[in-house]
Amino acid sequence: MKARNFRYIRPTILDQAYRILAENDGGAVPIAGGQSLLATLNMRLSAPKLLVDIGDLNELAGQSYADDGTVRLGALTLHRELLASELVRKHVPLLVRAASHIGHVAIRNRGTLGGSLAYADPAAELPACAVVLGATLELGSLKGKRAVKAEEFFKGLFETDLQPGELIVGVRFPAMQAGTMIGFAELARRHGDFALVGVAAVATMQHDRTIGQARLAYFGCVNRAKLAPSVSAAVEGLALPLPDATAFEAAIRTDITTEDTPGLRADTKLHLATVLTRRVLNSLSA
Ligand SMILES: Cc1cc2nc3c(=O)[nH]c(=O)nc-3n(C[C@H](O)[C@H](O)[C@H](O)COP(=O)(O)OP(=O)(O)OC[C@H]3O[C@@H](n4cnc5c(N)ncnc54)[C@H](O)[C@@H]3O)c2cc1C
């Protein structure tokens, strides 16, 4: 299928973009890398009258380290740039691990951090990472700027806290502290496919291999990116390596409600989430 007719504009000034989005009152949508939006247009799942290409907005670009110990990534940061950035590798290495699982090279060359968070696909890697890392999203519109914690940003299936006319401008990630470990794994039918089940984890370690505080989030088997509080609590104090999943198996069933989908039963998803959780915890590393 082909997209319905639309107009296209590529503003170079952020306020201009805000004004165009506000004046068109829902009839205009921003486009970044187009890796999700173009598919929905071509399938006629959405039919905006105007596409506002945000690719030339300097305020949405760039990577920096701030004095408050956060790394700010512009919304236009490409998935490919997450993999290549020394700053990200040093301070937010979970994003590097996650980005290598996003689609294929062509998608990583065009897809953006802001686009992935705004689209809020429950099978996407970056929303889950933003949640476990405690990231803060910088949102902007004609009305001004506001900051929203990632945990509060994802509201439901493909649903976020973004208001009409609002853009994700950048995302702030706390830099990883010494003694913190990370883990990431996903299961997909083929490499590059969206995850059937995935886990992102951040944990402080006590002594050598005992988990202190932990934060885990699932993707692929949930309807939105959110923390898994019961699992996070259940794994605290566990000594690694874990011989089995006894300590957190019940907590997974508390945090995740799965449904049958074509080719994958709800119970199988829970089983995969359990297997993957143990795998991620046993492979926690700096
Ligand atoms: C074959 C294929 C495989 C893929 N596999 C994966 C995968 O395994 N994992 C994964 O996570 N993703 C995957 N993707 C999606 C890809 O990562 C997209 O790039 C990403 O989801 C959206 O980023 P984008 O910049 O392309 O956004 P776009 O497609 O341009 O936009 C997506 C949505 O976000 C909105 N938007 C974009 N930027 C902003 C902003 N700054 N502020 C507010 N709203 C904004 C748009 O209006 C639109 O609604 C895949 C895509 C394809 C085509």
CA 99, distance to chain mean position in Å, is: 10
Nearest in space to 203 (alpha carbons), one of 190, 216, 192: 216
CA of 176 relative to ligand 1 center, distance in Å: 26
CA of 36 to the centre of ligand 1 (A): 4
Q: Is the pTM of this model over 0.75?
A: yes
**Per-residue pLDDT tens digits of the chain, which is 286 residues long:** 789 999 999 999 999 999 999 999 779 999 999 999 999 999 999 899 999 999 999 999 999 999 899 999 999 999 999 999 999 999 999 999 999 999 999 999 999 999 999 999 999 999 999 999 999 999 999 999 999 999 999 999 999 999 999 999 999 999 999 999 999 999 998 888 899 999 999 999 987 789 999 999 999 999 999 999 999 999 999 999 999 999 999 999 999 999 998 889 999 999 999 999 999 999 999 8
Instruction: Check if the beta carbon of residue 23 is closer than 8 Å to that of residue 10.
Output: no
Euclidean distance between CA atoms 168 and 114, whole angstroms:
6
Start-to-end Cα distance in the chain? 46
Q: What's the 37 CA to ligand 1 centre distance in angstroms?
A: 7
Atom nearest to 169 CA in ligand 1: 41
- Which residues 6+ apart lie within 8 Å of 243 measured at CB? none
Tell me which residue has its CA closest to atom 28 in ligand 1.
34
C-alpha 79/C-alpha 76 separation (Å) is 9
- Calculate how far, in angstroms, residue 34's C-alpha sits from the geometric centre of ligand 1: 6
Which run of H or E residues covers position 128? helix 125-133
Q: Which ligand 1 atom sits nearest the alpha carbon of residue 188? A: 8
**Pair type for strands 70-74 and 63-65:** antiparallel
Determine how β-strand 159-160 pairs with β-strand 154-156. antiparallel
Torsion-angle region of 230 (φ positive above 0: left; ψ -120 to 50: alpha; else: beta): alpha
Taking CB atoms and a 6 Å cutoff, what residues make up the pocket around ligand 1? 29-37, 39, 54, 75, 102-103, 107, 110-112, 114-116, 118-119, 121, 124-126, 162, 167-168, 194
